[in-house]
Structure 1
Amino acid sequence: MNQRTKKFLSFYKPYLGLFMLDMLCAFIIAGVALVYPLIVRFITNDLLVNYSREQIPMELIKAAFFLLAIFILQFFCNYFVTYKGHVMGAMMEYDMRTELFSHYQKLSFNFYDNQKTGQLMSRITNDLFDITELCHHGPEDLVISIIKFVGAFVILMRINVRLTLLVFLFLPIMFVFAMVIRKRMHRAFKKNREKIADINANIEDNLSGIRVVKSFANEELEMEKFKEGNDGFLSSKRNSYKNMATFHSGLGFFINMINFAVVIGGGFFISDGKISLSDLVTFLLYVSNLIEPVQKLINFTEQFQNGITGFERFMDILEIEPDIVDKKDAVELKNVKGDITFENVSFKYNDANSEVFRNINLHVNAGAYVALVGSSGVGKTTMCSLIPRFYETSEGHIYIDGMDIKDIKLKSLRSNIGVVQQDVYLFTGTILDNIRYGKMDATREEIIEAAKNANAHEFIMELPNGYDTDIGQRGVKLSGGQKQRLSIARVFLKNPPILIFDEATSALDNESEKVVQESLERLAKNRTTFVIAHRLTTIRNAKDIIVLTEDGIKERGTHEQLMKQKGIYQGLYTVNQNFKSIEN
Structure 2
Amino acid sequence: MASTSTTAPSSSTSPPSPARTTVGAAARGAPRSLSGLLPFLRPYRGRIAAAVVFLVLAALATLAFPLALRNLVDAGLVNTDKGAQTMALRDHFEALFAVAVALGVFSAARFYMVSWLGERVTADLRNAVYSHVLRQSPQFFETTQTGEVLSRLTADTTLVQTVVGSSLSMGLRNAVMGVGALAMLVWTNPYVMSVVFAAVVLVVLPTLWIGRRVRRLSRDSQDRVADSSAIAAEVLNAVPVVQSYTAEPREANRFQQATENAFQVAIKRSRARALLVAFIIIANAALLLWGLYRGTGAVLAGKMTAGHLGQTVVYVILLAGAVAVLGEVYGDLLRAAGATERLMELLSSRSPVTDPAAPKTLPLSGQGLAVEFDQLRFHYPSRPDQPALQGFSLRLAPGETVALVGASGAGKTTVFQLLQRFYDVDSGLDGSPAGHVRLNGVDIRDLPLATLRAHIGTVPQDAVIFSASAMDNIRYGRPDATDEEVIGAARAAFAHDFLTALPEGYATFLGERGVRLSGGQRQRIAIARAMLKNPPLLLLDEATSALDAESERMVQAALDTAMQRHTGRRTTLVIAHRLATVQNADRIVVLDHGRIVEEGTHGALLAQGGVYARLAALQFAA
Among candidates 475, 480, 483, match of residue 522 of structure 2: 483
Residues 533-552 of structure 1: pairs in structure 2 closer than 5 A? 533-552=576-595
Structure 1 pair 253–577 and aligned structure 2 pair: CA distance change class (3 A): farther
Gap change, CA 1:443 and 1:2, over 3 Å in 2: closer
2: CA distance between counterparts of 1:409 and 1:266? 75
Task: Give the counterpart letter for 2:47 in structure 1.
Answer: L
Work out which of the residue numbers 117, 125, 129 in structure 2 matches 1:100: 129
Deviations 1:396-443 (A, max 9, x none): 101111111111121111111110011111111111111111111111
Is the contact between residue 123 and residue 313 of structure 1 (CA under 8 Å) also seen in structure 2?
A: yes
In the aligned structure 2, how far is the partner of 1:535 from the partner of 1:231?
Answer: 48
For residues 105 and 536 of structure 1, the distance between their equivalents in structure 2, rounded to whole angstroms, comes to 35
Return the offset for 1:457: 1.2
Structure 1 position 548, deviation (Å) = 1.2
The answer to whether the 8 Å contact 1:357/1:549 transfers is no
The alpha-carbon distance between structure 1 residues 351 and 562, as it changes in their structure 2 partners (threshold 3 A), is same
Q: Does 1:287 align with 2:309?
A: no
The alpha carbon displacement at 1:387 in A equals 1.0
Aligned counterpart in structure 1 of residue 539 of structure 2, from 478, 500, 515: 500
Partner of 2:219: 190
SS in 2 for 1:125: helix
- Aligned match for 2:150, one of 121, 131, 134: 121
Query: Partner of 1:471 in structure 2?
Result: 510
Could you list the runs of 5+ residues in structure 1 that have no partner in the other structure?
Answer: none
TM-score scaled by length of structure 2? 0.89
Which of 424, 429, 442 is the aligned partner of 1:392?
424
> The residue matched to 1:392 in structure 2 has which SS?
coil
CA distance in 2, matches of 1:385, 1:551: 14
Give the AA of the match of 1:492.
M
Matched, 1:328 2:357: yes
Distance 2:375 2:364 in 1: 26
Aligned residue type for 1:76: V
Separation in 1 of the partners of 2:265 and 2:85? 61
| Structure 1 residue 96 displacement after superposition | 1.5
> How many angstroms does 1:168 deviate by?
2.9
Amino acid in the other structure paired with 2:401: Y
Counterparts of 2:228 and 2:304, CA distance in 1:
60
Aligned counterpart, 1:530: 573
User: What SS does the corresponding residue of 1:467 show, helix, strand or coil?
Assistant: helix
Q: Which residue of structure 2 lines up, in the alignment, with residue 318 of structure 1?
A: 347
Q: Which residue matches 1:362?
A: 394
Q: Number of aligned residue pairs: give it.
A: 579
Decide whether the 8 Å contact of 2:79 with 2:85 is kept in 1: no
Letter in 1 for 2:327: I
Measured against aligned partners, the alpha-carbon deviations of 1:288-336 in whole angstroms (never above 9, x if no partner) come to: 1012211221232122112211111111111112221211221343425
The answer to whether the 8 Å contact 1:343/1:398 transfers is: yes
Q: CA deviation at 1:186?
A: 1.0
In structure 2, the residue matched to 1:29 is 58
In the other structure, the counterpart of 2:380 is 349
2:82 match: secondary structure: coil
Partner of 1:217: 246
Q: Distance in 2 between matches of 1:51 and 1:129?
A: 59
1:572 is displaced (CA, Å) by: 2.9
Question: Residue 399 of structure 1 contacts residue 405 of structure 1 at CA under 8 Å; is this kept in 2?
Answer: yes
What amino acid does structure 2 have at the position aligned with 1:384? F
C-alpha change, 1:366 and 1:58, in structure 2 (3 Å) is: same
**Cα offset, 1:139, TM superposition:** 4.3
Distance in 1 between residues matched to 2:485 and 2:239, nearest whole Å: 36
TM-score normalized by structure 1? 0.94
Aligned to 2:410: 378
SS in 2 for 1:346: strand
Which of 459, 462, 468 aligns to 1:420? It is: 459
Partner SS for 1:11: helix
Give the counterpart of 1:560 among 600, 603, 609. 603
Say whether 1:448 aligns with 2:487. Answer: yes
Task: Quote the residue 2:181 is aligned against.
Answer: 152
After superposition, the Cα gap between the structure-2 partners of 1:199 and 1:451, relative to the gap in structure 1 and judged at 3 Å, is: same
Distance verdict in 2 for CA 1:381–1:432, change over 3 Å:
same
* Corresponding residue of 1:77: 106
Structure 2: which amino acid aligns with 1:340? Answer: V
Map Cα deviations across residues 237-281 of structure 1 (whole Å, 9 max, x no partner). 111111111111111111121123223333444454443444333
Cα contact 1:484–1:516 (8 A) shared by 2:
no
Give the aligned residue type for 2:460: Q
The equivalences for 1:509-528 within 5 A come to 509-525=548-564, 526-528=569-571
Code of the aligned partner of 2:573: F
Query: Aligned partners of 1:469, 1:523: CA distance in 2, in Å?
Result: 26
Asked if 2 retains the 8 angstrom alpha-carbon contact of 1:357 and 1:379, the reply is: yes
Greater mean alpha carbon deviation, residues 33-42 or residues 349-358:
349-358
Partner SS state of residue 12, structure 1: helix
Tell me what 2:468 maps to.
429
Pick aligned residue for 1:171 from 200, 217, 229: 200
Q: Which moved more, 1:341-350 or 1:143-152?
A: 143-152
- For residues 472 and 414 of structure 2, the distance between their equivalents in structure 1, rounded to whole angstroms, comes to 29
Indicate conservation of the 8 Å contact 1:41/1:278, yes or no: yes
What is the correspondence of 1:405-416 to structure 2 with a 5 Å cutoff? 405-416=444-455
- Matched letter for residue 309 of structure 1: G
Matched, 1:573 2:616: yes
Partner of 2:119: 90
Question: Does structure 2 retain, via aligned residues, the 8 Å contact 1:347–1:358?
Answer: yes
- Cα distance in 2 for partners of 1:71, 1:108 equals 57
SS at match of 1:455: coil
What corresponds to 1:229 in structure 2?
258
How much does 1:76 deviate?
A: 1.5
The residue type paired with residue 566 of structure 1 is G
1:556 Cα shift?
0.9
Shift of residue 488, structure 1, vs aligned partner: 0.7
Q: SS where residue 494 of structure 2 aligns?
A: coil
**Distance in 2 (alpha carbons) for counterparts of 1:102 and 1:527:** 32
User: Is the 1:417–1:497 Cα contact (8 Å) retained in structure 2?
Assistant: yes
Native 8 Å contact 2:475 2:532 kept in 1: yes
CA contact (8 A) 1:342 1:397 kept: yes
- Code of the residue aligned with 1:520 in structure 2: it is L
Per-residue CA deviations over 1:491-518 (Å, capped at 9, x if unaligned) read: 1110011111112223444344333333
How high is the sequence identity, in percent, across the aligned residues?
32
